[in-house]
Structure 1
């Protein structure tokens, strides 16, 4: 007991062949190739003419007409606006802007006036400089 039931091992004596496997079913049908290019003429239109013309009807108008004649029995997927039923939300109220104290308001106004005065002075200086520059350039051109 405990030994193999067949003492002599079986050896497959058929010669090993390295021939390729037979092709699968339907393999004899060749792969379709591109058509012969000898009949191709690049100067003849290959696409049907009139492809860039507008269609005889507008598909959007057709869809709107169909939806008007045959409305959907289902509610819209995304309702718009507030619901008619349930709690009605009040319209949003504008928030009052916080006002600085009167003393701070006066200080802000004075600072704004100072800035405006500085800007006016700067504009006057710039204008005077540009006028002098243009006179200088014109004077040099006349000397040549």
Structure 2
């Protein structure tokens, strides 16, 4: 009766070795390279196929495009020669506005400034009246 209601088994892990175990085949000596007698200068040592890199990377697509032309239009429909880019001719800037247009613009500007000044005066008088009302003064 005086023991725990649920008995937990003790887990004893295996003892940890102080030195790691050597890898498999550790006792084998390091392999050496074959002597110069095993070298063949006519053999391909790179590992790539012997015909790798002999094809022209631009010639193959050109031949394919010649055999199977695209249904899309050519890439250079600008009218410029294919050899290089030629800049378009210089375009003159538009002429300045004439004297009549300048006078009309100045008249409109004067009218807008006058309307802005009138609106400012009305708002100032309104704000003064509001401030005096808040302070309790009578007009």
| TM-score, normalising length: structure 1 | 0.32
Query: Which structure has more RCO (C-alpha within 8 Å, separation ≥ 6)?
Result: 2
| TM-score, normalising length: structure 2 | 0.33
